[in-house]
Amino acid sequence: MYQDNFIVFTGGPGSGKTTVINELKKRGYLSSEEVGRRVIHTQVEQGGDALPWANKKSFRDLMLKAEVDSYQQNQCEVEWVFFDRGVVDILGYSNLESICLSDQLLNAVSSFQYHQKAFIFPPWESIYTNDSERKQDFIVAVKTYKEMISAYIQCGYELLEVPCGTVNERVDFILANLKLG
């Protein structure tokens, strides 16, 4: 199914997606949080191994389930919903980590589609930081960004690169491109 009011943000880690989502929430827009961090947090709490540094395939599969759940939970919304990553990101992650593509993933990518315009956040070294859930270095962030470009283009999305700038400048760029600002 195709949700024209679902806007997805993609790119490498640490490029400012969540900060922009938080500003959009302050401005009254609906959003869906990044599922990767939620999966990591839950797995660490439960002592699980579905983690990007332990069992990449299980991590990928849990992220896919969470992305599909997030999509379905917002399906009745008629307002704009901004997603901190989407189902296509799972395809990009699979390619980045050389994980075999499952039929479930391929079906989800074609079944759960977002607005034609997707916003990609470029690597931005001066704001990039590591934490307990983001352990990859900046080089991997750049590789992730490139894989996301490939995955979204492969799936037929139009990518709009969000320029580096203040949070308000970035939000204004997004809203203007959606003709909301």
111-124: average pLDDT? 93
Protein fold of 6-177: Rossmann fold (3.40.50)
* % of the chain surpassing 90 pLDDT: 76
158-164: average pLDDT? 96
pLDDT given at position 142: 85
pLDDT given at position 140: 80
Helix, strand or coil, per DSSP, at residue 34: coil
pLDDT given at position 164: 92
Q: Please answer whether residues 63 and 93 qualify as being in contact, where contact means their C-beta atoms are separated by less than 8 angstroms.
A: yes
Domain-wise residue ranges, the chain: 6-177
